[in-house]
Structure 1
């Protein structure tokens, strides 16, 4: 019975990641919102706090956010088999789409309709990214942790105003999080 449930979970994981990857345009930040809706809100495989952790790990690890997110979710749900299943489901659609496009590149390049469609999709991508920022930011503000809110505002300001490389911002936030956790443990709060 357990093996049947595991096969069902793996099939569902593959189909979910395949579907998300196949119909997501705009990069990793767009897929984060869709992963949240699918894995947190709809399937309840992970909770919202785990989703925030997943996004942090996916952003700070090298590689595509979609693949890194699939790795974390797949491993959490079904170990190494789940990891491989989720990665396959995530990587297969872009691989197939790019293979077809590369064969027909000359035809696609000159089609005005395709160019206009892609241009229109940019507006939708911007809206989805804004939605990700809103959803993830509101999760932090609901906790009413002043330090986290200040770090979020400071990271945005440093990135936008001073044009500091995001890698340094992520490293600084990671170090700050580590220090805060160690201080809480010392005080017995964790």
Structure 2
């Protein structure tokens, strides 16, 4: 039994370390990688749990990648899993930044490094578009008119009308609370 836990802990560390070391572009890029390992390959958490964790990770202070890794680690292996995934996620950037800061002048002036970083920008953009499509498909599958309309309306509200994102988040949260309250009153959602 103890060996099984140690294998799980090592697996959590290895996965979060490799995700953190080889993904660039922020927390949203980490989500598809976590889906691949934790949902598809190991079946340790469900797709819906991962999306819920992503929503929580976005709304809590700190880096999204670290927040979602900690939530996944906690869900899979409790507080020890949360600590292990946190260390596994934070360690690669610390190592990389330490090396870069030591050789900063060489990295800053190197054309090859600059070209590699420009290429990574395109990969990050493609990964973010992929996760947006996956999340949109999940919203459409729910067949919830409010949620289906909320995404394009909030995009236009911010992009075209330049409404502050905080105002949009608060307004959407209030709408979702009202919708949930109405469903509870109608008996559509059962309390636990």
One fold, TM greater than 0.5?
A: yes
Structure 2 residue ranges without an equivalent (≥5): none
Q: Distance in 1 between matches of 2:16 and 2:167?
A: 30
- Aligned with 2:24: secondary structure? coil
> 1:1-190, aligned counterparts within 5 Å?
1=1, 3-190=2-189
**How many corresponding residue pairs?**
189
C-alpha displacement at 1:66, in angstroms?
Answer: 0.1
When the two chains are superposed, the root-mean-square deviation of aligned CA atoms in Å is 1.4
Tell me the TM-score normalized by structure 2.
Answer: 0.92
What do the CA deviations read for 1:53-85 (whole angstroms, capped 9, x no partner)?
111111111111101101111111111111111
Q: Distance in 1 between matches of 2:13 and 2:175?
A: 36
**Is the Cα–Cα contact under 8 Å of residues 155 and 169 in structure 1 kept in the other structure?**
yes
C-alpha displacement at 1:20, in angstroms?
Answer: 0.4
Structure 1 residue ranges without an equivalent (≥5): none
Structure 1 runs of 4+ aligned residues shifted over 6 Å read: none
Q: Distance in 1 between matches of 2:164 and 2:30?
A: 23
Tell me the TM-score normalized by structure 1.
Answer: 0.93
Q: Distance in 1 between matches of 2:49 and 2:101?
A: 37
User: Using a 3 Å threshold, how does the CA distance of structure 1 residues 123 and 45 change in structure 2: closer, same or farther?
Assistant: same
C-alpha displacement at 1:168, in angstroms?
Answer: 3.0
C-alpha displacement at 1:186, in angstroms?
Answer: 1.8
